[in-house]
Amino acid sequence: MNEEQLVQQLEQIAAKEIPDDMNKWPDIHTQLVQRRTRSRAIRRTLSGIAAALVIVVTGLVGSAFSQGPSSDPGLDHVQELGLLQPLNLTESHDNMTITLTEGYADANRIAVWMTIETDEQPILLPTIMPILSYANGDFLNAGLHPMPLDTTDPHRLKLVVSFDLVDVLPDDQPVDLRLTVNVGGMPMPVIPEGVTPEPGPIPPEYMIDVPALPPFVFTFQLDVQQALILTPQQTAEANGLGVTLDQITLAPSEITLRLCFDLPDGGDWQPKVSVQVDGVAGNLMGYRLTQLPNPAETRRCADYDIALGVTPESRQLEVTVDRLQTSASFTPESMARAQERLAAQGITVEFEVGQGGFNWKIISAPDDMDEPAIGLLVWDALSEQYAGPWSFTVDLPTDD
Partner 1 sequence: MDDLDSIKRLKAGDIGGLHALVDRYQVKAARCAYLISQDRALAEDIMQNAFLRVYDRIDQFDLTRPFEPWLMRIVVNMALQAVGGRPLIADVDALALLDPAPDPAALAEAHEQEAAVRAALSALSPEQRAVIVLRYYLGYTESEMARELEKPLGTVRWRLFAAHKRLRGLLAHLKGGRA
Q: Pattern 52-91, binding to partner 1, x per CB under 8 A?
A: ---------------xx-----------------------
Segment 366 to 395, residues that bind partner 1, using CB under 8 A:
none
CA 287 to chain CA mean position, Å: 10
Q: In terms of CB distance, is 22 or 344 closer to partner 1?
A: 22
State yes or no: cis peptide before 215, omega within 30 of 0: no
Asked if 295 is part of the footprint of partner 1 (rule: CB under 8 A), the reply reads: yes
Segment 272 to 291, residues that bind partner 1, using CB under 8 A:
286, 288-289
Contact with partner 1 (CB under 8 A): which of 36, 79, 99, 164? 164
Q: Which stretch binds partner 1 (CB under 8 A): 86-94, 237-245, 351-359, 370-378?
A: 351-359
Sequence-distant (≥ 6) Cβ neighbours of residue 104 within 8 angstroms: 75, 78, 83, 84, 85, 110, 111, 112, 222, 225, 253
Segment 167 to 206, residues that bind partner 1, using CB under 8 A:
none
Among 328, 329, 321, 327, smallest CA distance to 271 is for: 321
Contact with partner 1 (CB under 8 A): which of 178, 274, 358, 371? 358
Question: What does the angle CA 328 – CA 334 – CA 338 come to, to the nearest 5 degrees?
Answer: 85
Asked if 24 is part of the footprint of partner 1 (rule: CB under 8 A), the reply reads: yes
Distance in angstroms (rounded) separating the CA atoms of residues 391 and 383: 22
H/E element, 95: none
Distance in angstroms (rounded) separating the CA atoms of residues 60 and 400: 50
DSSP letter for 193, please: T
Q: Which stretch binds partner 1 (CB under 8 A): 72-80, 137-145, 214-222, 388-396?
A: 137-145
Distance in angstroms (rounded) separating the CA atoms of residues 281 and 177: 31
Q: Which stretch binds partner 1 (CB under 8 A): 1-9, 148-156, 215-223, 360-368?
A: 1-9
**Shortest distance, position 286 Cβ to partner 1, whole Å:** 5
Dihedral sign of CA atoms 180, 184, 188, 194 in order: positive
Asked if 3 is part of the footprint of partner 1 (rule: CB under 8 A), the reply reads: yes
Asked if 296 is part of the footprint of partner 1 (rule: CB under 8 A), the reply reads: no
DSSP for 104-167, written as a single string: EEBSSEEEEEEEEEESSSPP-GGGEEEEEEETTS-B--EEEEEEEEEEEETTEEEEEEEEEESS
Asked if 147 is part of the footprint of partner 1 (rule: CB under 8 A), the reply reads: no
**Shortest distance, position 60 Cβ to partner 1, whole Å:** 15
Q: At what angle do helices 25-47 and 57-64 cross, to 10 degrees?
A: 100
Contact with partner 1 (CB under 8 A): which of 48, 51, 139, 313? 139
Q: In terms of CB distance, is 232 or 267 closer to partner 1?
A: 267
Asked if 18 is part of the footprint of partner 1 (rule: CB under 8 A), the reply reads: yes
**Shortest distance, position 348 Cβ to partner 1, whole Å:** 24
Q: Which stretch binds partner 1 (CB under 8 A): 98-106, 221-229, 234-242, 352-360?
A: 352-360
Distance in angstroms (rounded) separating the CA atoms of residues 177 and 344: 49
Contact with partner 1 (CB under 8 A): which of 88, 136, 152, 294? 294
Segment 210 to 229, residues that bind partner 1, using CB under 8 A:
none
Asked if 9 is part of the footprint of partner 1 (rule: CB under 8 A), the reply reads: yes
DSSP for 158-191, written as a single string: EEEEEEEESSPPPSSS-EEEEEEEEE--EEEE--
Q: In terms of CB distance, is 84 or 98 closer to partner 1?
A: 98
Contact with partner 1 (CB under 8 A): which of 298, 327, 345, 348? 327
**Residues forming a β-bridge with 25:** none
Q: SS3 of 397, please?
A: coil
Asked if 145 is part of the footprint of partner 1 (rule: CB under 8 A), the reply reads: yes
Contact with partner 1 (CB under 8 A): which of 153, 268, 350, 395? 268
Query: Is 286:143 a contact under the CB 8 Å cutoff?
Result: yes
Q: In terms of CB distance, is 292 or 344 closer to partner 1?
A: 292
Among 307, 319, 138, smallest CA distance to 246 is for: 319
Q: Which residues sit at the interface with partner 1, rule CB under 8 A?
A: 1-3, 5-7, 9-15, 17-20, 22-25, 27-29, 31-32, 35, 67-68, 129, 131, 139, 141, 143-145, 164, 166, 268, 286, 288-289, 292-295, 327, 355, 357-358
